[in-house]
Structure 1
Amino acid sequence: MTDTLQNAVLAALRDPAHRISSAWLYDQRGSALFEAITQLPSYYPTRTEIDILDTHLPEITAAIPGHTLVVELGSGSSRKTVPLLNSLHQPAGYVPLDISADYLADAADGLSAQFPGLPVLPRVADFTSAFDLPADLPEHGSRLGFFPGSTIGNLDTGNARDLLRHCRMLLGGDSRFLVGIDLDKSPDILIPAYDDPEGVTAAFNRNLLVRINRELGADFDPDDFRHEARYFEAPARIEMHLVCERAITIHVAGERFELTAGESLHTETSRKYNIEAFSTLAAGAGWSVSGHWIDARGRFAVMLMHATPL
């Protein structure tokens, strides 16, 4: 992964937009910090999605055949997976995919302990690029993709469509896909969710610089950057930036870069959808929405889709 991180960082610094994939935020410490973010009062998506699943899982899983193979993208701690596996009828196996190898291994070990008879096959993968499944899959009937956490919002429209299409081909013609999406709402709710007063999201964002220094021998000073969350209306999204506080010179992989005060590294985009827009996006990638569930405040939605001909 080091060569790929190096290429990503150099490309971001050479590009005037200084944009880097949010996938690189998730080393082991970044993954742990994100789990801490999900516990914060201002970060509503995780607990809202969990509430939706807790309330509606029997209805959701009734529409999913037995003996299905569950494939989870960006599995993290797999916290939402336990109730899903408990609710499914005789799941055939579980394939968690995540970019953080150490964090993935720990989560997979925990799932194996909780479900001793269930094959668990972790796979290190960056779902923003093409990926495949392990070769030694257990026998199964259909496949269920699971993509919670509104993580699909980290992709722009074209890349989100490409990912949905790739999953359609990977999961097959008799597959289902369960996806969490964050709904558009007031910036008064959105911005605190991505710039909490406790400073955990700021530490999560700056940890990218710590990782770059550690893995690439760069000389970023994280204290030279402030974390900033920005809301945009069209398309509705939050962007996370690391804003340079002063003019600096940095060195990465033998190259020298100068950043001026006010320049920023764009580290994450979190797109906010409505039901109609996401359904249209999915339809263009071989998926038809067969049901959706929204919390009482209209903040978040869980979408169940089934495969259609490509």
Structure 2
Amino acid sequence: MNCYNFTWFDWFCLWYPPGWLILFNRHWQHYHADPDGWNWLEYILFLIPCGFYLALFIRWLRLGCRFPRIQSYTFDPYYQQAFRDEILSPIVKFYFRAELKQLENLPKKAPLLVAMNHAGMCFPWDFLVLGYLLSETRNWTVQPLAGVALFDHPWMRWWLPSGWAQVLGGVRAKRDDFEAALAQETVLLYAPEGLRGPMKGWSKKHQLETFDSSFIQLSDRYNIPILPVVCLGNEYLHPWAIHFKALAKKLYLPFLPISPLIPLFALFPSMGVWAMRSRLCYFIQPVYKTELKADGNMRMRSRAYQEAQSLREKMQTLINQLLQ
């Protein structure tokens, strides 16, 4: 199949926030047959205030008053590269203006477990952009660890094509899936803060939350080095946001940001994959190797927790220094 080339309409969608969802779906439909996907009339409705609700209703009627079908897909490195080169490239270069710093610390070979601070309270753009930069720099296959809601939540089935996250290499944030990905000797992007990172909100945007210790134990078990990366700029992807816990729980969402931008999101729900323009800078740190030498499961977990928090303190110190 021919490559997907940006048209004037795609450039318009890139700089018009409600159009980002159109970009993702148009690209998918170029490479995949998707009879349940959005059509042109519905795309046009995305671009007008409250038009997304009408588009959603029309699509629901068109599908016979049902949800889009769940499709079974697996990771497709070819499509990941196509998406990276044809969609992510202009977003990374012209919108987020992203760059890797301290490249002398970047290893030559995989596998790696890349541990990065996660913020922004929005679609995980800091992860997607880092994956793009690592792939471009080293030609690596990079897979991000993603919250289960990104795969299974009903809203995702309407916003994005069924199987979209899996095909692009997303790994469910479950221990079995995590271990299976590490065993494939891939470069796995991991947020040690978990959902606590994006949930912490604007007031704690530069503060790292407690690190989970599972990545330390798995790094030790599979003898895979950890590459710490500090990102600055991701805290501005959705500025001035706070986490509305009560409503998020009722809607079964991992987090629900409330900010001055919310009226725009209410008018244009397709902006759910959009983020504010920012300059994302990634500072690569020296490779970290675990040294778990305790006996017994309890002592091993205690040692892993201590190492995880030690790494958090080092990354927090670097963030404070860079902010100064």
Task: Determine if the TM-score, normalized by the shorter chain, exceeds 0.5.
Answer: no
- Looking at both structures, which has the greater relative contact order when contacts are Cα pairs under 8 Å and sequence separation is at least 6? 2
TM-score (norm 1): 0.33
Greater fraction helix:
2
More strand by share: 1
